[in-house]
Amino acid sequence: RKKMVKICCIGAGYVGGPTMAVIALKCPSIEVVVVDISVPRITAWNSEQLPIYEPGLDEVVEQCRGKNLFFSTNVEKHVSEADIIFVSVNTPTKTLGLGAGKAADLTYWESAARMIADVSKSDKIVVEKSTVPVKTAEAIERILTHNSKGIKFQILSNPEFLAEGTAVWDLFNPDRVLIGGRETPDGQKAIQALKKVYANWVPEERILTTNLWSAELSKLAANALLAQRISSINAMSALCEATGADVSQVSHAVGKDSRIGPKFLNASVGFGGSCFQKDILNLVYICECNGLAEVADYWKQVIKVNDYQKNRFVNRIVSSMFNTVSGKKIGVLGFAFKKDTGDTRETPAIDVCKGLLGDMARLSIYDPQVTDDQIQKDLTMNKFDWDHPVHLQPMSPIDIKQVSVVWDAYEAAKDAHGLCILTEWDEFKILDYQRIFDNMQKPAFVFDGCNVVNVGELREIGFIVYSIGKPMDPWFKDMPAMA
């Protein structure tokens, strides 16, 4: 084999872009080209305004773009020239046909694999970077070998564990890099080649190698376990509200147990993001296909609790405002699924806003990183359609009139009856809540879905405050029974 020098990554998204930028930065002797079929995405990667917001990413891209990092729409050329091809295309939940609403849609993956088979003229290592169902490597192997002209392909599974908002940090300091491959001499050789890339900056003991199926399943398992912690603490938050316990105190006390650990125990309005729900549904589907109904039901419950948490929040708002929000203005602070990202995929804000719109509220939404266009699009899309632009079915235009998007938290709150906080942006902690209170309708409500505000201080100002899992304001206790 010739000396490995060229990497091509198919898919210039939240994973492909940052991951490849960091590989280019840490491996100056490797040429990295990120390709995508989306012209606007590639244009943005080549501009001053990158297509995704990630702290620290601009600096990394600036240091290597044009040197050993390139973004291109010439997919076939760069795939054919590469030694290692990462596939980091989207793998959303299927919306139609067999397994709809659960199974992973591998359309994009399969078309990438067929294209690789078509254009390759030399041996390649093909790396699954996307999160895929267990055994996908086998399917990909079949596509590649049945369509190739005597070229050798080695498939590796190298799932990505970065979280959005901290992607650059996570890539610089991964807890582990996981590489799965075939247990054959060629498979092991391919593992070593990829390991060598990461060894440029990741300590050897953090690079784990496994068989293909363990690597594929570990990714689904990690996301399922992380999401399960959130659903567990969110389930506790409901019990806290019923009993007078404070969920922050409970998670602090519980997290002190070194076997449990303190991270990922923050109660919230529910988890969002493009991964957790999709990957658990995928896991559930795989369990069902393998006849493991009990296992499937166990993981399904993590999503059920997450949906329950979002519904509970909406019900709380409506019932505390005299059982109707019809025609009332409600300010919404935060729309992204977490702070430090502009990503809105599966953000709980979509469900909460849709719930309030269903009760005919008027919404005024502010998020420091999400555009008006994106919010309007998200609120008029059906579940799971965000990653399937082909079957978009807009809701009726009347719903859109109920929503305005503003560029300032004070504007969102002005004349509002209630204020919902749906993303834990740091700037929401230091707002002038007295000024907000003075400009709101009375009684003025705050519904904090991310434990951002100081409940005591806000009650002092005169707000009626609901904060998930915190001891309840007497107001809510006196309200008629609700969910």
The question of whether 275 is a catalytic residue gets the answer yes
36 binds, among ligand UDX, ligand NAD, none (CB under 5 to 8 A by kind): ligand NAD
Per the DSSP assignment, residues forming a β-bridge with 210 are: 180
Whole-number Cα distances in Å, 369 to 46, 56, 88, 108, 148: 20, 15, 24, 28, 44
Extract the tokens encoding 10.
């198919």
* Gyration radius from the chain CA atoms: 24
For residues 58, 61, 63 and 64, what is the CA-based torsion angle, rounded to 10 degrees? Answer: 180
- The rounded Cα 399 to chain-centroid distance in angstroms is 26
Whole-number Cα distances in Å, 379 to 48, 90, 201, 304, 418: 29, 21, 42, 21, 20
Helix (H, G, I), strand (E, B) or coil at 396: coil
Extract the tokens encoding 235.
């389930």
99 binds ligand UDX (CB under 6 A): no
Residue 300 labelled as part of a binding site: no
The residue within the footprint of ligand NAD, chosen from 23, 25, 33, 162 (CB under 6 A), is 162
Each residue 243-282 as x (binds ligand UDX by CB under 6 A) or -, in order, gives ---------------------xxx-x--xxx-xx------
23 binds ligand UDX (CB under 6 A): no
Binding segment toward ligand UDX, per CB under 6 A, in 41-49, 222-230, 324-332, 402-410 = 222-230
41 binds ligand NAD (CB under 6 A): yes
Binding segment toward ligand NAD, per CB under 6 A, in 57-65, 159-167, 170-178, 361-369 = 159-167
Q: What angle do CA 316, 322, 325 make, to 5 degrees?
A: 75
Sign of CA dihedral 447, 452, 456, 461: negative
Q: Which amino acid is at 212?
A: L
Extract the tokens encoding 295.
């296992």
C-alpha span between 86 and 307 (Å, rounded):
34
Buried/exposed code over 281-314 (b: 16+ C-beta within 10 A; e: otherwise): bbbbbbbbeeeeeeebeebbbbbebbebbbebbb
Binding segment toward ligand NAD, per CB under 6 A, in 160-168, 284-292, 322-330, 370-378 = 160-168
268 binds, among ligand NAD, ligand UDX, none (CB under 5 to 8 A by kind): ligand UDX
Residue 41 labelled as part of a binding site: yes
- Strands of 182-233 (E only): list them: 207-211
338 binds, among ligand UDX, ligand NAD, none (CB under 5 to 8 A by kind): ligand UDX
Shorter beta-carbon distance to ligand NAD: residue 11 or 174: 11
92 binds, among ligand NAD, ligand UDX, none (CB under 5 to 8 A by kind): none
Query: Smallest gap, in angstroms, from Cβ of residue 35 to ligand NAD?
Result: 6
448 binds, among ligand UDX, ligand NAD, none (CB under 5 to 8 A by kind): none
Shorter beta-carbon distance to ligand UDX: residue 56 or 443: 56
Q: How many residues bind ligand UDX (CB under 6 A)?
A: 19
Measured from the Cβ of residue 475, the count of other Cβ atoms closer than 10 Å reads 13
38 binds ligand NAD (CB under 6 A): yes
338 binds ligand UDX (CB under 6 A): yes
Residue whose CB is nearest to ligand NAD in the complex, by number: 13
Count of CA atoms in the C-beta half-sphere (13 A) of 281: 21
381 binds ligand NAD (CB under 6 A): no
Query: Smallest gap, in angstroms, from Cβ of residue 205 to ligand NAD?
Result: 22
129 binds ligand UDX (CB under 6 A): no
C-alpha span between 382 and 380 (Å, rounded):
7
Whole-number Cα distances in Å, 280 to 101, 221, 227: 11, 8, 9
Which of 240, 275, 353, 450 does the annotation list as catalytic?
A: 275
Binding segment toward ligand UDX, per CB under 6 A, in 145-153, 154-162, 296-304, 399-407 = 154-162
- Strands of 274-390 (E only): list them: 329-333, 362-366
C-alpha span between 3 and 440 (Å, rounded):
66
C-alpha span between 375 and 357 (Å, rounded):
13
Instruction: Pick the closest to residue 218 from 167, 174, 158 (CA basis).
Output: 158
91 binds ligand NAD (CB under 6 A): yes
Which residues are known catalytic residues? Answer: 275
Residues of each annotated binding site for NAD(+)? 11-16, 36, 41, 89-93, 130-131, 164, 275-278, 345
Residues that bind ligand UDX (CB under 6 A): 160-164, 223, 226, 230, 264-266, 268, 271-273, 275-276, 337-338
Residues that bind ligand NAD (CB under 6 A): 10-16, 36-38, 41, 75, 88-91, 108, 111-112, 130-131, 160, 162, 164, 274-275
